């Protein structure tokens, strides 16, 4: 559905995008992650035919961005991070205006508008002025607008930007619904844990270069070299537990966490299963209060792969 090969955009000597190569299949939800200035918005603007690359190839639904801009725009919905709205219009008038621009006519226009309003849960605001909407509602209205012509591909640039926690949850649920409808979605976001919940693939980009392209679990394995477990026993037994664990062949290091009253146990290279920790401690008469594996989320992956460099 989306494919790029050596896609490059330069401004003078600056590489805003440096030989980007990626591929999204039908139904993929691709999380595009990177710091400000990494090249995410540049990529989306090129794919939406709003910006010409310096060189390289890109296609959407089999259509080249160079020769088939009209066909791509019929098949794509692009929602930028910041977009203008007409404050003096009602919500339904705003959608009908864009539906007319998409050449949706007659009763079909009103049906489409009502349909997308229900999808984004704004049906009760259909007669409200756009200027009265909250930031979260405005974001949902913007998404409703790009869904009017039933695009196969969606480019969503920071759709959760500036939203409060409840509005972010609403947006995440909406993206899940779009995923279940079979849409192919390229979404960028700084709310990284939420991307992990909805995306089957992620791409991590920094300074115009794609550093990682694959699924979340593969990214976690790339960042975490050794399995880590947190262990808690009776406070007076910490020293004994530490000695037992440090002497075990499958343990690399043991670190005392006094604030949490527990031990942080790093397993030896290649050892993943930490269930032996419970057996070891219980067999030696210690009271095991907690044993849990350290979790790595998408933020940890992002910090582990990127270097904090921006253009």
pLDDT confidence bin for 309, thresholds 50/70/90: low
Together in a domain, 198 and 281: no
User: Which CATH number is 202's domain given?
Assistant: 3.40.50.300
Please give the pLDDT value at position 36.
Answer: 84
pLDDT surpassing 60 at residue 214: yes
DSSP letter string over 219-233? Answer: HHHHH--S-EEEEEE
pLDDT surpassing 70 at residue 190: no
- CA dist 174 and 215 (Å) reads 21
Together in a domain, 161 and 135: yes
Return the axis-axis angle of helices 216-223 and 298-305, rounded to nearest 10°.
Answer: 60
Cα–Cα distances (Å) from 188 to 27, 152, 199, 207, 269, in that order, read 16, 18, 11, 15, 34
Together in a domain, 252 and 290: yes
The b-or-e profile of 254-277 (16+ CB within 10 A means b, else e) is beeeeeeebbebbbeeebeebeeb
Please give the pLDDT value at position 263.
Answer: 95
Please give the pLDDT value at position 295.
Answer: 79
Q: Which domain holds residue 269?
A: 225-295
3-class state of residue 80 by DSSP: coil
CB 306 within 8 A of CB 206: yes
Average per-residue pLDDT for the chain: 90
Q: The whole model's pTM is what?
A: 0.80
The b-or-e profile of 98-109 (16+ CB within 10 A means b, else e) is bbeeeebeeeeb
Say if 308 falls within a structural domain. Answer: no
pLDDT surpassing 80 at residue 47: yes
Q: How confident is the model over 88-106, as a mean pLDDT?
A: 92
Higher-confidence position of 307 and 155:
155
User: Which residue among 180, 214, 248 closes a domain?
Assistant: 214
pLDDT of 133-144, one tens digit each? 988 888 899 999
Q: How confident is the model over 53-64, as a mean pLDDT?
A: 96
User: Residue 19's closest CA among 208, 256, 299, 167?
Assistant: 208
Residue 195's Cβ-side half-sphere holds a number of Cα atoms within 13 Å equal to 30
Say if 304 falls within a structural domain. Answer: no
pLDDT confidence bin for 174, thresholds 50/70/90: confident
Q: How confident is the model over 67-85, as a mean pLDDT?
A: 90
């Amino acid at each position: 559905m989306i494919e790029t090969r050596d896609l490059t955009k330069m401004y003078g000597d600056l590489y805003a995008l440096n030989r980007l190569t990626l591929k999204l299949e039908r139904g993929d939800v691709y999380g595009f992650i990177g710091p400000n200035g990494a090249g995410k918005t540049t990529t989306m603007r090129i794919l939406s035919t709003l910006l010409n690359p310096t060189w390289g190839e890109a296609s959407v639904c089999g259509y080249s961005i160079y020769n088939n801009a009209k066909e791509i725009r019929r098949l794509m919905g692009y929602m930028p991070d910041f977009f203008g709205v007409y404050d003096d219009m009602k919500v339904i008038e705003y959608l009908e205006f864009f539906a007319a621009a998409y050449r949706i006519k007659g009763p079909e226009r009103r049906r489409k508008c009502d349909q997308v309003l229900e999808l984004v849960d704004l049906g009760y605001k259909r007669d409200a002025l756009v200027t009265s909407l909250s930031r979260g509602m405005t974001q949902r209205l913007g998404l409703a607008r790009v869904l009017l012509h039933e695009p196969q591909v969606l480019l969503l640039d920071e759709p959760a930007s500036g939203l409060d926690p409840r509005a972010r949850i609403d947006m995440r649920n909406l993206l899940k619904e779009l995923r279940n409808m079979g849409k192919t979605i390229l979404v960028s976001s700084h709310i990284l844990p939420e991307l992990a919940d909805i995306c089957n693939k992620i791409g991590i980009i920094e300074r115009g270069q794609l550093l990682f392209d694959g699924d979340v679990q593969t990214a976690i394995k790339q960042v975490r070299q050794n399995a880590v477990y947190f262990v808690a026993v009776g406070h007076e037994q910490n020293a004994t537990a530490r000695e037992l664990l440090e002497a075990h062949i499958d343990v690399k290091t043991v670190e005392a966490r006094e604030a949490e009253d527990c031990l942080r146990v790093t397993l030896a290279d290649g050892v993943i299963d930490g269930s032996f920790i419970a057996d070891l401690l219980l067999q030696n008469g210690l009271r095991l209060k907690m044993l849990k594996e350290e979790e790595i989320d998408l933020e940890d992956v992002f910090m582990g792969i990127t270097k904090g460099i921006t253009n």
